[in-house]
Chains A and B, each alone.
Chain A
Amino acid sequence: MEQMTTGNFVFAAVLLGAAGFFSFNAQRLARYLQFGTGAESSRVSDMPTRVRNLLVIGFAQSKILRDPLAGPLHAGVFWGFIVLTLGSIEILLQGVFNGFSYDAFLPRSVFAAYTLSQEFFALLVLGAVSALIWRRVVTKPKRLQGPGTHQAEAIFILSMIAGLMVTLFLMSGFASARQHGMEPGMHPIGAVLGRAFGGLSDSTKFAGFAINWWAHALLLLVFLNFLPYSKHLHVLTSLINTFFSNTSGPGTKGAMKPMDLEAEGVEIFGAKDVEQLSWKNLLDGYSCTECGRCTAACPANITGKLLSPRKIVVDTRARLLEKAPVLAARLEVVATGATHSGGEIGGDAHGDAHGGGHAVAEVPAPDAATQAILDKSLLDHYITEEELWACTSCRACVQECPVSIDQLEIINEMRRNLVLTESRFPEELLPAFEGMEQKGNPWAFAPGDRAAWAEGLSIPTMAELAASNDTPEILFWVGCMGSFDDRAKKVTVAFARILKAAGVNFAILGQEESCHGDPARRMGNEYLYQVLAKAAVETLNGYKITTIVTHCPHCFHQIGSEFPQWGGTYEVIHHSEYLERLLRDGRVPMQEEDNERLVVAYHDSCYLGRYNDVYDAPRETLRRALPILDLVEPKRTKDRGLCCGAGGGRMWMEEKEGKRINVERTEELLATGAETIAVACPFCMTMISDGVTAKGASTEVLDLAEIVAGRLALEAARSAS
């Protein structure tokens, strides 16, 4: 290593300054996260799954690669950056220690592989970044536009990356021209450029190298320090976010967080502002780089509603970066020795819902500008009610996000605030709330009619079996739709007929069944939900139920994934899975092959698919029930399937803006040319049937159970009905 030069000292000073500034910003942003709600034990559970997510979703870019064009381009830049970081460290060390090179420490072959890798990945990054700039400037994909996007910033950042790569090559070229002793094979591009620069004078070559070295090193430091001020912060936080995210597990996918409704002194339920969101929701804000994959998959957004999941996340970040500095400054005043009594950091008299854990202390009255910031809130000033109520909770946004952001959790927390704290919700929801509360179903049907569909079918109730000390193989949880809705009741009867034909010993709860409150929970009414869920758990536990089968995916998800929160742990099976099992085991007596070819399109239910990963069982059920089946898939299918529009309580709300989601979905299904549309959810059944009617089509919409029941062997069919 050579003597340190003036240049080395200058660079060391610059490096120190840049590192210091970066560290200041990193700490500032980390501190802002603490304004969210406190620790969540669920974020550090199941380390093996977290590491797997980090490796698969993070490093292997599995979700990024779902986009066949932008995916590989981004992955190229990402992997390139990881490899090039080695080179960046060498360059920064070179700046401080004159002539530093890994060459001095590494065997020649390893060093050669290193230099070659640097050139290879730099070329990859340059190519990918150029394509990405082209995409932003020329082809302009729709998902990169819209509210919450920073176009100029994106192009600036991409240009900076391109600049880094160009200076790297030029540096290598000038170095090669100055004959630094590397074989051309170790850096082919540098060697080619070196030959081109061969005719230049030595001083020009030296200057060329020095200029490009400084440009590269300074660009690198500027880039690093620009990150905390830009949407490109995701470079620093997305891997961390992926690690702490629960959207692909650990834990139960899609289960909403239980709220402690008995907590003392709570004035704000749900999230009105960033302080009531968790630190993880806030980290989601830092990690969003506005790629728009979420918004492009959102059924509400696709059909012209105001909701954009990306905007929800970008707004969360914007509000945090607006409010947190004010809160931090006010905390500072406290920390530097004011008396500790009265006052409130947040500038209002209300307590904090989840207890941010900040000392309550005397803070001077805020000035007008500060007060204006404190008076605003994420709800209303950034995100409107209309956006929040447009969500169908279909989870498409969560599924798509390459950095595992949970847009839906922010939406759900804000809905909770609207209902629980402010009692603000679309007026159509009131009858649904009252129906669930007073009649045990969201349509306010007379509870006495719950088991009317079963009249004459001689299906025992749990109460009857318990009286004779009998235990059924399964409990058939019928659900409110299946019990009261005329169309869904046919599905219920069809499924009961199959169970009977297969000789399954089953029972129903009859009039003891009551809504589990899932619609209330999805609509933000956690209080009503908990009352209903706890009552249902009590009923089920009272009969020591172990296995439950239901044909409603919402019941399936709620009882299977969320009842454990209230001490209700059962094996819950959706009828698509149960039918597949019965057919596979040959328990269902089916008709002989009738050589009739049927073209069927299956519509995935969100709560079955994206919430619970059941994609194959319904399709397999169809294949087994219909031997010569032509199963066709709509444009959006499986984990990319488009919602029918009924989830998240949308079933009970008017759809006033834009195109109707069910019509959009039905068009996709009809475009397959299917003769029959198969569904596995009573909500989807309503929406798709309405869609077919709206399109003036005559395509049949049938539930899986109806398709199977339609092919029961005649003998069996007769005796079961």
Chain B
Amino acid sequence: MKIAVCIKRVPDMDVKFKIAASGTAVDESGLKYDMSDFDGYAAEAALQINEKSGGGEITAICLGPDAVGETLRKALSMGIDKAVQLKCDAVPFDGYAIAQALAAELKGGNYDLILFGRMSIDSSNQSVGPMVAELLGLPCVSAASRLDVSAKTSGTAQRELEGASETVSFPLPAVVTIDEGVARPRYPSLKGIMAAKKKPLEVKPAQLGAVSVTVSKMELPPERAAGRIIGEGADAVPELVRLLQTEAKVL
């Protein structure tokens, strides 16, 4: 099966972010980057589909500056066959502009399946996958936690709902965005890392659409107020109850 996996390079989330001088973006100094978590699930899902059927080709596509080459290499080291960088100076916030660039690349590619992560973990827009599907006129399933496309012309996917799950059917080709639960992304073996160095990584200019949505201000959540010790033991209870009622207004 010919599969495309669209991935994004995102900063490691487990750090204390600082706002850049511009006030509209995070300060990138000292940040470490990796493939967005859900995109890792999407890559793993693609690999498992083709391993099961014993054939096919998977292309990873990533939009951004040259630094995304590292993220694409990681995808290649997992076992993905080839990579395409859609080069642009910076990744815009506007998902529609990105979707247009991706759609332009995917259009002539004859892909049976186009996978995305459910959302990128840095901007959490959840928009690019469905927009690409719309631009290409393909059916779209979002947030699939299970995926079966063994029928070659159609597939089924399971989606998690609040307190339930639903199974949907769709014809191929299709766009599916992947939720966690499909499969844990594999750890690249050294063999994979070595092989990745020899796999093709094509660089093309990104045909971004017009950017209409921009970030005007970014701020950190307010610092938590310091705690207060009102006393010790049973004597402090009445005061605590009073403050919880009057000040915190939680009782």
Question: Measuring CB to CB, which residues of chain A are less than 8 angstroms from any residue of chain B?
Answer: 261, 266-267, 269, 419-423, 425, 427, 430, 433, 438-439, 444, 446-448, 526-527
- Whole-angstrom distance from the CB of B102 to the nearest CB of chain A? 27
Q: Are the C-beta atoms of B190 and A526 separated by less than 8 Å? A: yes
Q: List 29 A-B contacts (CB under 8 A).
A: A261-B190, A261-B194, A266-B194, A267-B191, A269-B189, A269-B190, A269-B191, A419-B189, A419-B190, A420-B189, A420-B190, A421-B189, A421-B190, A422-B189, A423-B188, A423-B189, A423-B192, A427-B184, A430-B184, A430-B187, A438-B12, A438-B34, A439-B12, A446-B16, A448-B15, A448-B16, A526-B190, A527-B190, A527-B193
List the A residue with the shortest CB-CB distance to B15. Answer: A446
Instruction: Flag whether B14 is at the interface (Cβ < 8 A).
Output: yes
B191-209 vs A, CB cutoff 8 Å, 1 = contact: the mask equals 1111000000000000000
Tell me if B152 counts as interface (CB < 8 A to partner A): no
- Are B14's CB and A444's CB within 8 A? yes
Residue B242 is within 8 A (CB to CB) of chain A in the complex: no
Q: Is B186 an interface residue (CB 8 A)?
A: yes
State how many angstroms separate the Cβ of B148 from the closest Cβ of chain A: 24
Chain B hits for A444, CB < 8 A: 14
B107 CB → nearest A CB, Å? 34
Q: How far is the CA of A447 from the CA of B31 in the complex (A)?
A: 11
How far does the alpha carbon of A420 sit from the alpha carbon of B77 in the complex, in Å? 12
Alpha-carbon separation in the docked complex, A630 to B6 (Å): 67
Using a CB-CB cutoff of 8 Å, which residues 7-27 of chain B contact chain A?
12, 14-16
Measured in the bound complex, the distance between the Cα atoms of B16 and A421 in whole Å is: 36
Least Cβ distance of A355 to chain B in Å?
A: 16
Please give the distance in Å from B76's CB to the nearest CB on chain A.
Answer: 14
CA separation between A446 and B12, bound complex, in Å? 11
**8 Å CB interface, B172-194 against A:** 184, 186-194
Min CB gap B228→A, angstroms: 23
Determine how close the nearest CB of chain A comes to the CB of B194; give it in whole angstroms.
8
Q: A438-B32, A438-B34, A527-B193 are in contact. Are A423 and B186 (CB under 8 A)?
A: yes
For residue B190, which residues in chain A have a CB less than 8 angstroms away from its CB?
Answer: 261, 269, 419-421, 526-527
Question: Which residue of B14, B184, B191 contacts A420 across the interface (Cβ within 8 Å)?
Answer: B191
How far apart sit A422 and B186, CA to CA, in the bound complex (Å)?
11
| B residues contacting the other copy or chain, number (CB 8 A) | 16
For B34, list chain A residues within 8 Å (CB): 438
In the complex, which residues of chain B have a beta carbon less than 8 angstroms from the beta carbon of A526? 190
Could you tell me the distance in whole angstroms from the C-beta of A505 to the nearest C-beta in chain B? 30
Closest-CB distance, B185 to chain A (whole angstroms):
9
Which 5 interchain pairs have the tightest Cβ spacing? A420-B190, A423-B189, A527-B190, A421-B191, A269-B190
Report chain A residues within 8 Å CB of B16: 446, 448
**Known contacts A526-B190, A527-B190, then 13 further A-B pairs from the complex at CB < 8 Å, ordered by chain A residue:** A269-B190, A419-B189, A420-B191, A421-B191, A422-B189, A423-B186, A423-B187, A423-B189, A423-B192, A430-B184, A430-B187, A439-B14, A447-B15
Across the interface, name the chain A residue whose C-beta is closest to B187: A423
Residues of A with C-beta under 8 A to B192: 423
**What separation, in Å, do the CA atoms of A425 and B193 have in the docked complex?**
17
CB nearest to B188 among chain A residues: A423
Q: A421 contacts which chain B residues (CB < 8 A)?
A: 189-191
Q: How far is the CB of B10 from chain A (nearest CB, A)?
A: 12
Provide the residues of chain B in CB contact with A269, threshold 8 Å. 189-191
Chain B residues within 8 Å of A438, by CB: 12, 32, 34
Shortest CB-to-CB span from A111 to chain B, Å, is 66
Q: Which residues of B contact A266 (CB under 8 A)?
A: 194
Kindly provide the distance from the CB of A7 to the nearest chain B CB, expressed in whole angstroms: 65
Which of B15, B34, B188, B194 has the most chain A CB atoms inside 10 A of its CB?
B194
Residue of B nearest to A264 (CB): B194
- Say whether B187 contacts A433, CB under 8 Å: yes
Q: How far is the CB of A433 from chain B (nearest CB, A)?
A: 6
Q: How far is the CB of B203 from chain A (nearest CB, A)?
A: 25
A531 to chain B, nearest CB (A): 11
Q: How far is the CB of B180 from chain A (nearest CB, A)?
A: 14
The CA-CA distance from A267 to B194 in the complex, in Å, is 9
Nearest residue in A to B78 (C-beta to C-beta)?
Answer: A423
Give A523 Cβ to nearest chain B Cβ, in Å: 11
CB contacts (< 8 Å) of B32 on chain A: these are 438
CB distance from B143 to the nearest CB of A (A): 24
Per the bound structure, the CA–CA distance linking A439 and B15 in Å amounts to 10
Q: Which residues of A contact B194 (CB under 8 A)?
A: 261, 266
Q: Which residues of B contact A446 (CB under 8 A)?
A: 14-16
Closest to A439 in B: B14
Chain B residues near A430 (CB, 8 Å)? Answer: 184, 187
Interface centre among A423, A427, A526 (most CB of B within 10 A): A423
Expressed in whole angstroms, the minimum distance between the Cβ of A240 and any Cβ of chain B is 34
Contacts of B191 in A (CB 8 A): 267, 269, 420-421
Find the B residue at minimum CB distance from A422.
Answer: B189
Contacts of B189 in A (CB 8 A): 269, 419-423
Give the CA-CA distance A425 to B191 in the complex, in Å.
15
Give chain B residues whose Cβ lies under 8 Å from the Cβ of A422.
Answer: 189
Contacts of B15 in A (CB 8 A): 446-448
Q: How far is the CB of B168 from chain A (nearest CB, A)?
A: 30
Q: How far is the CA of A261 from the CA of B186 in the complex (A)?
A: 20
- Chain A residues near B14: list those with CB within 8 A: 439, 444, 446
CB-defined contacts of A439 to chain B, threshold 8 Å: 12, 14
Contacts of A433 in B (CB 8 A): 187
**Chain B residues positioned under 8 Å from A425 (CB to CB):** 187
